[in-house]
Chains A and B, each alone.
Chain A
Amino acid sequence: MNEITVTSADAFDIRDWLRLDLMPHFMCPGCGHGIALRALLWACHELGIKKDKLAIVSGIGCSGRTGAYIDANTFHTTHGRPLAFATGLKLARPDLTVIVISGDGDSLAIGGNHMIHACRRNLDMTLMLLNNEVYGMTGGQVSPTTSAERFTTTTPAGNVEPVFDACKLAEGAGATFVGREATLQTPALKDLLKAAISHKGFSVAEVISDCTEIFGRKNAMGNSAEMVLRQKHTMIPERAQDDRVPEPFKPNPFPTGVFVDQQRPEYGELYEQVRKRARETGK
C-alpha cells in the first residue's frame, strides 16, 4: 500500500459526517457495519473530501441502509443495482466522488453481473463491499460468502455451497484496485479505504464485518466482542503464515491487505476521448 498523506488538518470527529437527527440508528448491537461506516468517514475526512461533492450509492440490505446516516448526497437504490446506478451517476457527474456501499448478497448474488462489469469497465469509483456472510435484513439466509457448514435459516443442516472470494472475483474481472480488511483493524481498514478512494479507476474494498445478532447467534459464535476477536483467527494478514487455530467449524480464512493496485485507462477519460474525436471528425 502507498504511504498515506493526511490532507485534512482537523481531527476526525465522526459527528461532522453523520446525520445525527437520524439517531438512534437501526443497526443491531455489535454489528460490524457501524465500524466500517466509521472507517469510511475517517478515510473521507483524511482525504479532505467535501460532503457536498460526495455521493454515496447503496443497494438493499443492512449494508444498503448504512448510507443514509452519512451527511452527503445519499442514494439508497434497488437490490443489487447500486453499481449500475452509480455508473450512470458518475458518467453524468464526474465531479462527484462516488462511493458504493454494498453487501455480499447485494454485490455477489443478485448484483453479481453489475459487479463484474464495473470491475471490467474501470470507471473511477469505489465499492465498499460489506461481507458479513449472511442476509441479515431478511432474517439470516445463506449468502454466496457463507462459510462451509454454517447454519442459516435456509441451510438448517449446514451450508454445503462453496463460497465466493470477492477479491479474487474482482481481480479476475479486471478491477484495478482490490483489497480486504476486517472491522477488527479499524485504522488499517481506514487506510485501505483511503487508498481505494484515492485510486484512479474502479476500486474494491471488501470489509469483513460481523453479523452478531443473527449469524453469530445462530452459530453460537459468542458475543460481539468475542466475534470481532474471532476475526484474528480467520483473517490472514498479508504475507503471514496460515496459523489459524483448529475449530469445530471450518473457518473461512481470508487474507487481508491490498492484492491489486495497478493503473489502466479510466473509463470516463476514455469516453472523453470518444467525445473529442466525435467533435473533431463528426464521427
Chain B
Amino acid sequence: MSNPTNIQGNAAAAAGAIAAGCRFYAGYPITPSSEIAEQMAARLPKAGGTFIQMEDELGSMAAAVGASLGGVKAMTATSGPGFSLKQENLGYAAMTETPCVIVNVMRGGPSTGLPTRPAQADIMQARWGTHGDHPVIVLAPHTVREIYEETIRAFNLAEALRVPVVVLYDETIGHLVETVTLKEPEEIITRKWAEGPREDYLPYAADEDMIPAFPRPGDGYRTHTTGLTHDERGFPTQDPEKVTAFMERLLGKLETHRDLIEKNELVETEDADVLIVAIGTPARAAKSAIRELRGEGIRAGLFRPVTLWPFPEEALKAAAKGKRAVLVPEMNAGQMILEVERVLAGAAPVRGLNVFNGEPVTPAQIATAVKELAK
C-alpha cells in the first residue's frame, strides 16, 4: 500500500474502510455512490468479510447495524434519496449506540433531482435527518486521499464513541481520480468490549468518558437492545429522571470528546481580510482562488471544517475574528451558511455564494465574490 496509485474517490472510501477493519458491507445501488458497493463486493470476501446487496436502502442500513450489533465493523453507502431512507435505522444506531459508518456521496435534489451531478444538498440532512435529538458525527473530505483517511477516522470515531459516523462528500470528489499513496492507518480503534461479571451487569452504565462498554453477543451478558428510550439495564423506561440522564449522556458524549472529533484546516487565515468557509469541491475551488487573489494583492483565507458536525464553533469564531467579511460558497441554496451566521452572530458580515444547478463552484466565482467583499 506504499506506492502511489491512481484511485477514484469512491474506491478510496472502500479501501479506507477495509484498512480500518470493516468486515461487513450492506448496500443498495444508487448513483453516484455505487462504485463503493462494487469495490466492497470485490474486496471484502478476500479480507474474510461479507458483502451483501440488500433489497432496499432501509434494509441495507438495518443489516449494517445488525452486523455491528454482532460485533463486526460495518458500513453502508448511498446518495441523497437513499440517505433519506437510511435515516430510520441511522436513528436506531444513534439510540442504541451501535458503531457504524455511512458514506453519502451527494447529488442534486430534492427527490430524484440530479443523480449524476454534484451538490452539497445534504449538509443539514446529515445532521438532522433522523427524528429526535441524536448524536451523529459528519466528516467532510475534499480530496481522494482525504476520503481514504477520513473513512479510517470515521471507523475509529464510530468505535471509540459508539456513534454513527457519516462520511459526506459531493459527486465530483467521489468520481475524481487522483494519485494517492494509501498509507496503512497509524491507529485502528476497536470498541471497548464488556468484561467482568455477568451478574447485575448494566450494559448502558458508563464511566466518566460517557461511553459504555459493548456487550458482544455470545459472551454471556444476554443484554437487551432497543430503540425505545432505555435505562442503564437497557430496558425501556419513561421515568423522567432516567430519560433525562440517558439523553444528557447520549447527547453529551460528543461534546465531552470534542477534542478527539474536531478537525479543521486553516489556509492563510491569519492576515486574511476575507475568510472563506467551505467544504468539499468549493473548498478546492477556494484554495485555487486564494492563490489567484493573493497574486493580485487581495488577502483571502480558508477555514475548512474537516469534521462538519459537530460544527467547529470556537475554532470558526477564532478564525473569523477581525475579518472584514466571511464568504460561504456552497453547492446548495444555503445550508452551512445558517450555521456560520449562528456561530458568528453578527461578528462579521456573512455572504453566501450558492450554486445549485448541478455544476461545481469555480475558483473564478469565488474570486469575484471575494473581490466584491474586499472592496
Instruction: Tell whether B321 is near chain A: CB-to-CB under 8 Å.
Output: no
- Contact indicator A91/B225 (Cβ below 8 Å): no
Q: Which of A47-55, A194-202, A227-235 makes up part of the contact surface? A: A47-55
- Residue of A whose beta carbon sits closest to that of B46: A278
Instruction: Give the CA-CA distance A84 to B62 in the complex, in Å.
Output: 6
| Contact status A78-B59, CB under 8 Å | no
Q: Are B67 and A89 within 8 A (Cβ)?
A: yes
Residue among B50, B69, B220, B221 making CB contact with A85, cutoff 8 Å:
B69
- B72 at the A/B interface (Cβ < 8 Å)? yes
B54 beta carbon closer than 8 Å to chain A: yes
Contact A87 B63 (CB under 8 A): yes
Q: Is A89 a contact of B69 with CB atoms below 8 Å?
A: yes
Q: Which of B50, B218, B224 has the most CB of A within 10 A?
A: B224
Q: Known contacts A71-B222, A74-B225: does B235 contact A87 (CB below 8 Å)?
A: no
In contact, A91 and B24 (Cβ under 8 angstroms): yes
Q: Which of A49-84 contact B (CB under 8 A)?
A: 51-53, 55, 57, 68, 71-78, 81, 84
Complex CA gap A271/B52 in Å reads 9
* Interfacial chain A residues near B217, Cβ < 8 Å: 55, 73, 89, 93, 96
Q: Mark B79-103, 1 if CB is under 8 A from A, else 0.
A: 0000000001100100000000000
What is the number of contacts between chain A and chain B, taking CB atoms within 8 Å? Answer: 141
Is A279 interfacial (CB 8 A cutoff)? yes
Partner of A84, one of B23, B63, B68, B218: B63
Instruction: Tell me if B190 counts as interface (CB < 8 A to partner A).
Output: no
> How far does the Cβ of B38 sit from chain A's closest Cβ, in whole Å?
14
Contacting B at CB under 8 A, from A259-281, are 271, 274-275, 277-279
Smallest beta-carbon distance B310→chain A, Å: 25
With both chains docked as a complex, state the minimum distance between the C-beta of B51 and any C-beta of chain A, in angstroms.
8
Instruction: Verify if B364 is at the interface (C-beta below 8 Å from A).
Output: no
Contact B67 A88 (CB under 8 A): yes
Identify B66's interface contact among A74, A87, A116, A283, CB under 8 A.
A87
- Establish whether residues B74 and A76, one from each chain, have CB atoms under 8 Å apart when the complex forms: no
Assess whether A86 is in contact with B227, with CB atoms less than 8 Å apart.
no
Contact A76 to B226, CB < 8 A, known contacts A53-B218, A275-B48: yes
| Chain A interfacial residues counted at CB < 8 A | 40
Is A93 a contact partner of B46 (Cβ separation < 8 A)?
A: no
Please classify how large the interface on chain B is, using the bins under 10, 10 to 19, 20 to 34, 35 or more: 35 or more
B70 close to chain A: CB less than 8 A: yes
Contacts of A57 in B (CB 8 A): 66
**Known contacts A88-B66, A93-B218, A96-B218; is A76 also within 8 Å of B72 by CB?**
no
Chain B neighbourhood of A113, CB < 8 A: 55-56, 59
Judged by a CB distance under 8 angstroms, whether B65 is at the interface is yes
Partner of A87, one of B59, B222, B224: B59
B64 at the interface (CB under 8 A from A): yes
Interface, chain A (partner B; CB < 8 A): 19, 22, 51-53, 55, 57, 68, 71-78, 81, 84-89, 91-93, 95-96, 113-114, 116-117, 271, 274-275, 277-279, 282-283
11 contacts between A and B (CB under 8 A): A52-B219, A53-B218, A74-B223, A75-B69, A76-B224, A78-B92, A84-B63, A87-B63, A92-B71, A96-B70, A271-B50
Known: A88-B68, A275-B48, A278-B45. 13 other contacts (CB 8 A): A55-B70, A76-B225, A78-B62, A78-B227, A81-B62, A84-B59, A84-B60, A87-B66, A88-B67, A92-B68, A92-B72, A114-B59, A271-B45
